[in-house]
Amino acid sequence: MEKVISGKALADKIKEDLKVKAKGFHKNHGRPCGLAVVLVGNDCASEIYVNNKVKACETVGIKSMVYHIESTIDQDELCAVIDRLNDDVAVDGILVQLPLPSHINEKKIIEMITPDKDVDGFGKLTHHKPCTALACLELVKSVCPDITGKHAVVVGRSHIVGRPTAKLLLEHDCTVTVTHLKTVNLGLHTKMADILVVAAGHKHLITRDMVKPGAIVIDVGINRIDGKLYGDVDFDNVMDIVSHITPVPGGVGPMTIAMLLANTLGFNSLEFEGIRKVKLLKGGK
């Protein structure tokens, strides 16, 4: 049995279905689905993330519009940019690449995005689920379609990953425990997890003695050290006792981008369930 869950392979399958959705959108609306990406400043990591998103848009047939703005822009000027994109009928999704410069109120900017265009899913009234949380859910369900009653432990409490992932797992009938770096006896909690999602931003935080044999492990962590990428889970150390695990890189990252495209096209969870059943009927992984 293949233990490594390839986020890239799963994302590629989903993008094939999104291509069909994008063609249908173009036919019905007389224009391609449009994603506006707002990039403020010249953060190298952010530029790489945006380029990856633009390439993914091209792959499925979404028109990407990148607004690269100087870091000196003030709050009101950036608000005006968001207002214009909210009113633009050719824009179906708006993504503001984080982080923003320190003089900009990120929360205010994100909450300005109209709910149906907030494809990152971070706004208070958003119509979409956050992309990384969706990615984690789909990765788990790709190897365990029925997670009802499973004990899921989330390590990390950020508003971007940890909390929305816990909420999404709870909505899918898991029993959920949320932990973090300051949790006393962290391993005591993680050892009980049927599904372990780790998003703490700490290299190799989770070791063999902290993982339940047979657990599904989703590693969201990306730690850059001396030019190399490391996850929050000591991958090699736990490989022989888990049932499935995502790699870093090549796990959650590609799926997060696929979920962003899905949100932009208005794909919903029921459609993913349908895709998953078809893949299983066809003998797909």
- Residues carrying an active site annotation: 53, 97, 120
Say whether 182 sits in a helix, a strand or coil. Answer: coil
Token pair, residue 13, equals: 């399958």
**Any bridge partners for residue 205, and if so which?**
none
Instruction: Give the separation between CA 158 and CA 247, rounded to whole angstroms.
Output: 21
The alpha carbon torsion through 170, 154, 180, 215 (nearest 10 deg) reads: 140
Which among 247, 199, 239, 205 has a CA at the least distance from the CA of 221?
199
Which among 250, 175, 239, 257 has a CA at the least distance from the CA of 1?
239
Token pair, residue 159, equals: 């508003």
The answer, yes or no, to whether the previous bond of 99 is cis (omega within 30 of 0) is yes
The answer, yes or no, to whether the previous bond of 32 is cis (omega within 30 of 0) is no
Amino acid at 118: D
Regarding beta strands 195-198 and 151-155, do their DSSP bridges make them parallel or antiparallel, or are they unpaired?
parallel
Number of Cβ atoms within 10 Å of the Cβ of 98: 15
Number of Cβ atoms within 10 Å of the Cβ of 179: 24
Sole residue written with tokens 């953060």: 43
Instruction: Give the separation between CA 247 and CA 234, rounded to whole angstroms.
Output: 10
